[in-house]
Amino acid sequence: MSPIDPTLAQTAEEFKKGGWIVAVLGAAGAFARLVISEQKWQPIIWIRKMIAGGIVGTLCYFAINGSSLDPMLKSVIYASAGSLAPDIFAWIKRKFTQQTK
């Protein structure tokens, strides 16, 4: 069994200190997109889409945290990824179900 990568451990510590906000940014991006859409208010669907936005925002955090991008650009990426997450997941699900038929 290999030891934990120190850079991953450091990134996880940074996430605990303040990186968790990207999950909020991702969920807020998904929420904003739902608010401006014509989609009917269905609480469970909206919550699922906001959770998907938070998950994708968090994945983006781990992907670009160590990069030298401007912090403002990073926050735009997190929120944009979160707002697109529901459509990305729906596309993946649709492709997967088409392949399994």
What are the domain boundaries of the chain?
50-101
Q: What is the full DSSP assignment across 2-69?
A: PPPPHHHHHHHHHIIIIITHHHHHHHHHHHHHHHHS-----HHHHHHHHHHHHHHHHHHHHHHTTS--
* pTM score: 0.69
Per the model's pLDDT, the better-predicted residue between 12 and 73 turns out to be: 73
What's the mean pLDDT when you consider all of the chain?
82
* CA distances in angstroms from 39 to 29, 30, 98, listed in the order given: 15, 12, 25
Cα–Cα–Cα angle for 50, 91, 23, nearest 5°?
A: 25
Between the two ends of the chain, the Cα-to-Cα distance in Å is 39
Question: Over the stretch 16-48, which tens digit does the pLDDT of each residue have?
Answer: 777 778 788 888 888 888 888 887 888 898 898
Do the Cβ atoms of 81 and 56 come closer than 8 Å? yes
